[in-house]
Structure 1
Amino acid sequence: MDERRRLDYLGAMGVDVWVPRHVAAGPVERSDETALVEPALPLPGQAAPSSVPPYPQPGHPTPPVRAAAPQIVPNPVAPEPVASGSVEPDPSDGPSSPDPTKLDWDALATAVSGCRACGLRETRTNTVFGVGSRTADLLIIGEAPGADEDRAGEPFVGRAGQLLNRMLAAIGLAREQVYIANVLKCRPPGNRDPRPEEVKQCEAYLMRQIELLGPRAILCVGRVAAQHVLQTDAPLGSLRGRWLEFRAASIPLRVTYHPAYLLRSPDQKAKAWEDLVEVARRLREGVGTVIGKGNDKDQAD
């Protein structure tokens, strides 16, 4: 086999070889796929060339260069976007966004139902927003939901709630004519007293309810509700029996016993009746002069 035929044979097999000058005098018919890129190793019995002739050379066509095969890179998987608002808020941040002070009734109720601002979110069954007429003249505030309220998602539905309904009926008011809310919107485990940090998280919700309602009078039932709403540590005995005012809004506020306490101490119902009569009178006659908060001497006289 002469040199030319050997080269053609190797080229047809796809073997790249170095072409000596004396053989490459004429053009070698090669396809692009078998074009020379670099010299191959010598065949057995042949000496390795001392040098590789540079390209291009006079009288020789420039050999085409085989393009490198494209590297296949898997398509990168883009990370899934983090859903807005999916990060649980820090309990120290207060009520969840949006700002409760800018919400209407329905948006506020929605915000309360999804609130995760404190640890009570882990133990509640339902949030307890409030119930009643959103145009009511009288707002009743309790301390926190109990077991019955936690199951129903509505304040004052157990035995204490039934007694409250009878107390309201005694002064000519139906449950549907007043608005009832709690300081806390979630039940504390074991019906324990609300903790200060829990009250702090819920305060903006209650303050917005009061602002939206704009009641003519507020009735706080129980020591815990009265102390938190009035921001005092005074005992209930010194708070009830007189008119106070709700903070800067100067809404007339009365304190009385919690219905649950009256179920345990029925001998105190007469005092609670006195408080209810005063509330009914104030609603009939209008706001008038508020006694309390700087007027204690007048009340004592």
Structure 2
Amino acid sequence: MTLHFGEEKLGMVSKSFVLSIVKEAASKCTTCPLHETRTNSVFSRGDRNAEIVFIGEAPGQTENQTGEPFCGRSGKLLDNMIKAMGYERNEVYICNICKCRPPDNRKPTSEEMKRCEPFLVRQLELVKPKVIVTLGATAAEGILGPGLGITKRRGSWGEFEGIKVMPTFHPAACLYNPKLKNDVWADLQKVMKYIGIPLQFKQITCK
């Protein structure tokens, strides 16, 4: 699967157009069994020129129906986290490691993540963010490779293709254990400091 466009060709067309081609390719992908049970592939949402890209694991049941990433309670909490940083959802870029929902919301296999990797890599090449925030253990593994669990990995900078990466907990984990929101906020403050976003006193936690 070839999704790369040379820079000389990319200069002749808009970033939006190229991303639409990649999105169309993802929606028609049949390289792993996940396509057999999908209703919609879930490509992305947000600003194509965003400074920050948030990457989750894979679509859930609601996302599979709507075609948009991070809906429902997890999505609302992510929106609150984004707002606490001084952004709106449409000012960042949100996507997943896998574009199709695994059955029963199970974790994607390493092979499924590998099959989706060309789409994700091309998205990041085109958006060119300053920082990637991975949400949860699977997203961190997909971007940074296998390693420590998310509890030990979160809050420490990594790098992917020259882009700074900050792993943190998934919003769903914060809903299950609200105490984790303080850890997520500490991680996001590191991102804000790196980008140069002023920290405001009211931004103490993500509620």
Aligned residue number for residue 90 of structure 2: 176
Give secondary structure in 2 for the equivalent of 1:140.
Answer: strand
Q: Which of the two has greater helix per residue?
A: 2
RMSD (CA atoms): 1.2
Q: Does 1:251 align with 2:163?
A: yes
Name the CA distance, whole Å, in 2 between partners of 1:108 and 1:169: 28
Give secondary structure in 2 for the equivalent of 1:266.
Answer: coil
Normalising by structure 2, report the TM-score: 0.87
Structure 1 residue runs of 5 or longer lacking an equivalent are 1-94, 286-301
Question: What is the Cα deviation at residue 165 of structure 1?
Answer: 0.1
Aligned length: 186
4+ residue runs of structure 1 moved beyond 3 angstroms?
none
- State, as a whole percentage, how many aligned pairs show the same letter: 44
What per-residue deviation string (whole Å, max 9, x for no partner) do you get for residues 108-147 of structure 1? Answer: 1111111111101111110001110000010110010001
Name the CA distance, whole Å, in 1 between partners of 2:42 and 2:104: 16
Question: Of the candidates 124, 127, 142, which is equivalent to residue 38 of structure 2?
Answer: 124
What per-residue deviation string (whole Å, max 9, x for no partner) do you get for residues 222-255 of structure 1? Answer: 0010011101232112211221111xx2211101
Name the CA distance, whole Å, in 1 between partners of 2:169 and 2:150: 8
Question: Of the candidates 275, 286, 297, which is equivalent to residue 187 of structure 2?
Answer: 275
Decide which structure has the larger Cα Rg and report it.
1
Q: Does 1:263 align with 2:166?
A: no
Aligned residue number for residue 142 of structure 2: 228
Aligned residue number for residue 189 of structure 1: 103
Aligned residue number for residue 117 of structure 2: 203
Name the CA distance, whole Å, in 2 between partners of 1:100 and 1:195: 22
Aligned residue number for residue 149 of structure 1: 63
What per-residue deviation string (whole Å, max 9, x for no partner) do you get for residues 92-116 of structure 1? Answer: xxx4xxx212382111111111111
Structure 2 residue runs of 5 or longer lacking an equivalent are 11-17, 198-207
Q: What is the correspondence of 1:78-97 to structure 2 with a 5 Å cutoff? A: 95=1
Name the CA distance, whole Å, in 2 between partners of 1:231 and 1:238: 14
Name the CA distance, whole Å, in 1 between partners of 2:90 and 2:177: 27
